A and B are shown apart, each in its own frame.
Chain A
Amino acid sequence: MIKSELVQRIAERNPHLYQRDVENVVNAILDEIAGAMARGDRVELRGFGAFSVKRRNARVGRNPRTGTHVEVQEKSVPFFKTGKELRERLNEGS
């Protein structure tokens, strides 16, 4: 499922809303999650999962094509941990 399909499915269930509004709803949610992580905040959505930020230390990397060493600076990366309910639903009946 891609974003436009998600928007369409929600719009179908809310005939009183414009598709444009639903698109804005989905974008507002994703922007809020991304913005929180950019501030270093954690996003906890019970039943779904939690988004957080992890630190990656500086390291010496290597250009795989040329083999030359490159310094990779310390950075933060997005991280998602699946919530308990969703994890269980993924493995129902197996």
Chain B
Amino acid sequence: MMANLDSVRRSRTVTRADLAEAVYQKVGLSRTESAALVEMVLGEMSDTISRGETVKLSSFGSFLVRAKGERIGRNPKTGVEVPITPRRVLTFKPSNILRNQVSDAPVAVGDDD
């Protein structure tokens, strides 16, 4: 039954190569340079986020670093309580523009949970 619906809507996976191709098509730089720039943009964003800094991309969304305090977790298999150390987590808050662009998107079965 699931397989049936899956065939109705096959979700594709977009990768770095597709982003490089988009840059190549739209900006007109060489393929090699387009790929290098995609890497540089993602690298710059990662470096900034890793320093705990927010990355705010207007009309797209914001990457926010949040600090989580220590809490008690539990090993689901054994039931033993273990402390979860304080950590930093990254959350993405989509802009309203992006939300509107995506609101009618088809969702493949199994993709939503």
Binding site for B on A (CB under 8 A): 1-3, 6, 9-10, 13-14, 17, 21-22, 24-26, 28-34, 36-49, 51-55, 75-80, 82, 85-87, 89-92, 94
Contact = CB atoms under 8 A, between A and B. Distances in A.
Contacts of B103: 75-77
Contacts of B87: 90-91, 94
Contacts of A25: 23, 27, 29, 34, 37-38, 41
B37 A40 contact: no
Given A28-B22, A53-B111, 11 more contacts: A10-B44, A24-B27, A25-B34, A26-B41, A29-B38, A33-B19, A37-B105, A40-B108, A53-B102, A87-B89, A90-B52
A38 B56 contact: no
B19 to A, nearest CB: 5
A32 B88 contact: no
Nearest to B63: A80
Interface string B34-74: 10011011101110111011111111110101000000000
Contacts of B42: 45, 47-48
Interface residues of B, number: 61
A63 to B, nearest CB: 18
A28 B27 CA distance: 8
19 contacts: A1-B48, A6-B45, A21-B29, A25-B41, A28-B22, A29-B38, A30-B59, A32-B14, A32-B22, A34-B102, A37-B98, A39-B106, A40-B9, A42-B12, A51-B92, A78-B92, A78-B94, A85-B46, A86-B49
